Amino acid sequence: MALNLIKLCVGCDSVEDLEAWIASDLEESRRLGKPVEDYHTTRMTPTRDAELLDGGSLYWVVKGNVQCRQRLLEIRPFVDGEGISRCRLILDPVVIRTQWQPRRAFQGWRYLKAADAPADLGAGGSALMEMPPKLRRELAELGLL
């Protein structure tokens, strides 16, 4: 069974913000002639990489709720220009929306067992995605999503 990561999506107010951020980063990489890949840099390197790369995803907490995920493709530890060990989580740029699941704030990332991860929305969630992000957030805060 795959293992996942969960992380706060700091700076994004909605899944749409995350998607726009990814598109912008990919376009910038193309423009600069760099490898076109989506990644997230983190300070700590996961030790359970084999389990994570066996179908795992990075689940994003947006405004207090898990709302989406991206498949983990690769884990690349590296040392930055200041000599600090870091890790790049290489992600599939396709954002998969999930059922909303409330989460309290935390620092860094955490492991997330597949059994505890929210289900993907799939075709039945299209009506939810047509709602404005602010309305979805308000309904989630009321416990209606």
Q: Calculate the average pLDDT of the chain.
A: 89
Q: What is the pTM of this model?
A: 0.85
In the structure encoding, which two tokens stand for residue 51, read together?
Answer: 């389990």
Domain borders along the chain are 3-141
104-127: pLDDT as tens digits: 989 999 999 999 999 998 755 556
Q: What is the pLDDT of residue 124?
A: 54
Nearest-angstrom CA–CA distance, 68 and 92:
12
End-to-end CA distance of the chain: 27
22-61: pLDDT as tens digits: 999 999 999 999 999 999 999 999 999 999 999 999 999 9
In this structure, of 1-5, 50-54, 69-73, the range with the lowest mean pLDDT score is 1-5
Rounded-to-5 percentages of helix, strand, coil across the chain: 30, 35, 35
Q: Which residues contact 36 (CB under 8 A, 6 or more apart)?
A: 26, 29, 30
127-143: pLDDT as tens digits: 666 777 677 767 767 76
